Amino acid sequence: MFWESFDRWALRDGAHPAYIDTDGGRIWSREELSRLVEGASRDLRPYAGGLVAIHLRNGPEFVANVLAAWHQGCSVLPVDGEADDAVAESLCGSLKAAVLINAEGVWPREGTRSAALGPGLIKLTSGSSGAPRGVRLSLGALYKGAEQIAETMQICGADRTLLTLPLSHSYGFDNGLLMLSLLGVPIVAARDLTPNRLCRVVREHQPTVWPSIPFLLDVLSRSRGVEASDLSSLRLVVSAGAPLPPRTRAMYAQRFGVTPRTFYGSTECGGITFDREGATEFPEGSVGTPLEGVRVTLDEAGPSGVGRVRVHSPSVGDSYVPEPSHELSTGSFLTSDIGRIDEAGRLILLGRVTDMINVGARKVYPAEIESVIREVAGVEDVVVMAADRETASESLRAIVVAADPNARAIQEFCAGRLPAWKVPRRIEFRKALPRNARGKLDRRLL
C-alpha cells in the first residue's frame, strides 16, 4: 500500500528529492531511496510476515526498512533510535520480534518466530504516565489516518516537511514518513535544533510544513537574531505532543507572522483534532475540531458537559499488544483525557482521568489552575498536582518555573480568579520541569 504508493512517485519523477539530511549534507532522490527499499526488502525476505524491530535514528535507512518490511508483509516495531540496546532487546523479547535492525545490521532473533501478523505497525505509547504499551495498527488504519491528516491540513506533494521529531515516534512517523510515502512529500531532516542552525536549514531548503512541539516554538520565539524572513517558507506550523501555552502561540504568531496550529492525536488512533482556523483568539485548553472522518464523543458526560474523550475513526488501532484492553475496539478508542465540547464544536481538554484531584469532595482538573498561573508575569512553565495527604482530602501543589519566583504573588493572583479551594496551598519552584523529546511532561520524575 505505502510502498506501492511511493514506488509510483519514484517512477513518476525519480530525481525529485525524497530525504534531505541537512546535518550530513546529503540529498536522497526518490530513485535512490527506492533502491534502498529494494535492497532492504531482499534482506527481509526470510522473515516475511513476521515482526521486524527497527532500532535506528532518523535517516533514509529508517524509511527504507519500514517500506521494505511492509513490502514483505511484515509488521514493524519502531524503537527510539536514542534508546539503549537493552531497551530494544527487551522489546524484541516481549513482543516476539523475528528480527532486529540496527546501525550494525540485520540480526535474526534466535529461537524466536513471531506469529504471522500481516503488514502493519506496532506503535509504543509514550509511557509518561505508566509503562509503555504496544498498539497494533493495520496498514488500512494507517492509510486512513494519513489521509485524514493530509485532507484536514491541506498537505500535498508540493509541500516539504521540516522533520525535527523522531520518526520512531507516532507524531513524526505519521507526519513525516507517511506523508512521504503517500503523497511524495520530501522530508527535510534536522538534528541540530539550535535556533540559528534551524533558520539556516529553512532558508536553504524551503520546507513548507513543520510538525513541531511547544518547546521548540517557545525557544524560537525568544531567540535573538532570528528574523521572520528566516522562516518565511513555512506556511503551516503545527504544535503537538504537549499543550501549547497561549503566550507561546501569541509570541510566535507576532514574531513570525504564522500562527501555530494545535494538533491533538494519540498513538492509538493517530490524529484526532486540529486548529483549522488559526484564529488569534483560541480558548485555553482548546485542541480544535475533529479531523475529516473523525468523530469525538464524551463518555459519562454530566450536566456540565464534561466527560471522557472517545474517538471514533477508521484510523483506530486493532488492539494493545501483548495484552488487549477494553479501551480499544473496532473503530473506537476511549482515551484517558477529560474534556468538553464548546459551542463552536471545539474540543476543550481539561486534564486526564489520572490527574483529577479531589479537594474537599470537589473535583479539580489541574489544567484550569495551570492556565491561570501561566498568566502570572514571569511564569514560564507550571504543573499542578495533589500535595501529600495531610488530612482526609487532598490539597493542591503547584510546581513552577519562573524568572522571578514569588509564591505569595502567585497565590494572590490565583485568589483573584479562582475559588479559594482551587488556590494551591504549596508553591514550589524548579529550574525546569522534566519533559521528554516531544515536550510531554514526565510525571514520574516530579
Quick: pLDDT tens for 114-145.
Answer: 556 789 999 998 755 456 789 999 999 999 99
Please tell me the predicted confidence (pLDDT) of residue 28.
98
In 254-370, at which residue ranges do the beta strands (DSSP E only) sit? 261-266, 270-274, 289-290, 295-299, 307-312, 319-321, 328-329, 332-341, 347-352, 357-359, 362-364
What's the rounded Cα separation, in Å, for the pair 226 and 437?
23
Q: One-letter amino acid identity for 5?
A: S
pLDDT in tens, 195-249: 999 999 999 999 999 999 999 999 999 999 899 999 999 999 999 998 888 889 9
**pLDDT, mean of residues 413-439:** 90
Instruction: Name, of 389-393, 394-398, 415-419, the range with top average pLDDT.
Output: 415-419
Percent of the chain predicted with pLDDT > 70: 96
Average the pLDDT over each of 108-122, 284-298, 339-353, 369-383 and give the range with the smallest value. Answer: 108-122
Task: Round the average pLDDT of the chain to a whole number and report it.
Answer: 92
**Which pLDDT score, from 0 to 100, does residue 388 have?**
66
β pairing state of 426-429 and 75-79: unpaired
Q: How many helices (H) and strands (E) does the chain have?
A: 12, 26
Architecture of domain 356-445: 2-Layer Sandwich (3.30)
Cβ pair 385, 446 in contact under 8 A = yes
Residue 392 has pLDDT above 50, yes or no: no
- E strands in 23-160: 26-29, 51-55, 75-79, 99-102, 105-108, 120-124, 134-138
pLDDT digit string, tens, across residues 71-83: 999 999 999 999 9
For helices 60-71 and 2-12, the axis angle rounded to 10 degrees is 120
Q: Which three cell numbers stand for residue 113?
A: 518466530
pTM of the model: 0.89
Percent of the chain with pLDDT over 90: 77
Q: How far apart are CA 325 and CA 393, in angstroms?
A: 31
At 246 the pLDDT is: 87
Distance from C-alpha of 202 to C-alpha of 42, rounded to nearest angstrom: 36
The residues near 133 (Cβ < 8 Å, ≥ 6 apart) are 124, 125, 127, 320, 321, 323, 325
The answer to whether 152 and 124 have CB atoms below 8 angstroms apart is no
The domain made up of 2-351 is a member of CATH 3.40.50.12780: yes
* The domains spanning 2-351 and 356-445 adopt the same CATH topology: no
Give 264: exposed, middle or buried? Use CB within 10 Å, 0-12, 13-18, 19+.
buried
Domain ranges of the chain: 2-351, 356-445
| Model confidence at 316: pLDDT above 60 | yes
Q: Which of 74-83, 142-151, 378-387 has the lowest mean pLDDT?
A: 378-387
